[in-house]
A and B are shown apart, each in its own frame.
Chain A
Amino acid sequence: MIQSHISIRAEHLTQRFRVIHERPDTVRELFAKFLRKPVKYRDFEAVSDASFTIYKGEMVGVIGRNGSGKSTLLKIVAGVYRPTSGSLHVNGAIAPLIELGAGMHPELTGRENILLNGLLMGYSKNEMAEREQRVIDFADIGDFINAPVKQYSSGMYLRLAFSVATEVDPDVLILDEIMAVGDFAFQEKCYERMQGFRAAGKTILMVTHSTEQILKLCDRGILMDRGTIAYNGDPQQAVDIYMREANGKDEPLLVEAPSVHT
């Protein structure tokens, strides 16, 4: 059991993906595989040996370039991926939502989607009945709540998705780039809500590309680089290193290709 003031403890998390060059996707290829040479693959470590501890009530922003392993890390913490190795302990209930609108179905109405999303996040029907009105009030999309979601404008869609995702009461929230939502007024509402979570002592782990958001919201910044945690600490410091690296052209942009095994 981990101590009560700790929210997330990750030890040596590694997520290895097998990138198969000739993965047999169909049965024909499967047969072809037996006749010809063996399948070539290379192992790709999206996250390698990442260890960190997040304390209760902290708001942590994860930054890094595309392909640096930010989203993979969040997905491990959210339980979407089972890590190849390493251990993860989470204290309390975790909102397993990674991307906005993950559980939305275009043919269902807004109201039906609220229920379906809530159930997907692990809430009961009764709990969702209680929350429904609050979700609708926050999304503030008027009569459209009873129309199929496919008729929504992208702004309305995101507003509903954001309300569903955040009208929850978990101890830990995992957010992957969901703050760039809606118009200015709605964004202000979103910030308010984030501050509310913070005030309520929730732990928030978020990925963002907006350095402004990190500085404005987070207590801590984690900088990911090629699957490893390059820096973990002061947000200003994390952003500075990130910007310096992004501006310096001496760093290779992509992970160098690991050797090919057969």
Chain B
Amino acid sequence: MSAKDSAPDGLECCYETRLRQMIELVKDTYRYRELIWALAMKELKIRYKRSILGFLWALLNPILFMVVLTVVFSTVMPIQMPHYAVFLLTALLPWTFFAQSLSYAAESIVGNGDLIKKVKVAKLVFPVAAVVSNMINLLLSLIPLVLIVFAMRHPFHLTWIYLPVPLLALTIFTMGASFFFAAVNVYYRDVSHILQIVLQVWFYVTPVIYSLDTFPSRYRFYFKLNPLQYFLNGFRLSVYYGMLPTWQSIGASFAIALASLYLGFMIFRRKQDDFVFYV
């Protein structure tokens, strides 16, 4: 049976159109790469402006946070987990990337409203730049992670080289969510506030500060419904445990990531010409 027989009328053309729209996203991102990069660098420059240590803060933050947590979890409420700092950071760093990207992206269109009202500019550069600037932060924070792994004499697993895979999947997922929140926040400004609450809850229901193993297996099913779990798991498995996720888990993470990008960009794309009337 051919695809035509099973698909309702017009669906075949729609697949083609959808594919073309996704190609358009990739093409535009490439076309505006210099502008996206300049906007991302502007973001970082402004974030660390007037601080004496500047970019060093991107490196210091995870170290200081780790010190605090190590003190808390070794003295106040001891955790039976060897090298807890490494365990924590392997999920916390990608989580921070995700959460910060979304917060930045949600404000990216509204915050650049003045610009959008005056200059013809491709709207997608703003959320993409928000993600890119946080990606730079994430990559910088891998340096202190290496130092901490080294200092704690945690073994350097060969599976480190697997890191780009969950990184790519998480970036695609984050990009999709960023497009969605950037677009929706133009129409309802509460969204950026709601997002903060959602992120806080999301943080605690995701195994970042704890391990999924601490829960009885009958509850674990519910955690598997959390899409973020698949990405963070990839980071933690490869760096902390020295293992690789199953093929199913890798497949699931990319399927979720692409679905997020597709849905997020479709909504963004449909609304982008109207942003100028609402910002």
Contacts and interface: CB of A to CB of B under 8 A. Distances in A.
Nearest to A109: B45
A28 B45 contact: no
Contacts of A82: 273
Interface in B228-279: 273, 276-277
A120 B190 contact: no
A124 B34 contact: yes
Interface residues of B, number: 24
Nearest to A126: B34
Contacts of A27: 188, 190-191, 194
Interface in B32-47: 34-35, 38-39, 42, 45-46
A25 B110 CA distance: 13
Contacts of B39: 116
Contacts, number: 62
A97 B118 CA distance: 7
B83 interface: no
A41 to B, nearest CB: 13
A135 to B, nearest CB: 16
Interface string A101-137: 0110101100010011001110011000000000000
Contacts of A102: 114-115, 118-119
Nearest to B277: A17
B49 A107 contact: yes
A17 B117 CA distance: 14
A98 B119 CA distance: 6
A28 B42 CA distance: 34
Interface stretch (A73-81, A180-188, A243-251): A73-81
A222 B36 CA distance: 38
Nearest to A78: B120
Nearest to A24: B188
Q: Which of A18, A80, A112 has the most chain B CB within a 10 Å cutoff? A: A80
Contact of B34 (A25, A98, A119): A119
A96 interface: yes
Interface string A16-56: 01100000111110100000000000000000000000000
A81 B189 contact: no
A105 B118 CA distance: 14
Interface size on A, as a range, is: 20 to 34
A129 to B, nearest CB: 11
Interface in A60-114: 78-82, 96-99, 102-103, 105, 107-108, 112
A103 B115 contact: yes
Given A26-B190, A105-B42, A107-B46, A99 B34 contact: no
A79 B118 contact: no
B168 interface: no
Given A102-B114, A105-B42, A116-B42, A26 B120 contact: no
A30 B117 CA distance: 25
A30 B114 contact: no
A120 B121 contact: yes
Nearest to A26: B190
A98 B190 CA distance: 30
B38 A25 contact: no
Given A27-B188, A108-B45, A115-B38, A99 B276 contact: no
Contacts of A17: 277
A81 B276 contact: yes
Contacts of B276: 80-81
Given A17-B277, A102-B114, A107-B49, A79 B38 contact: no
A209 B120 CA distance: 24
Nearest to A116: B38
Given A79-B120, A81-B277, 9 more contacts: A24-B188, A26-B189, A27-B188, A27-B194, A80-B120, A102-B115, A112-B45, A115-B38, A120-B121
List 4 A-B pairs, minimum CB-CB distance, nearest first. Answer: A102-B118, A79-B120, A96-B120, A119-B35
14 contacts: A17-B277, A25-B188, A25-B189, A27-B191, A27-B194, A80-B117, A80-B118, A102-B119, A107-B45, A112-B45, A115-B38, A120-B35, A120-B119, A120-B121
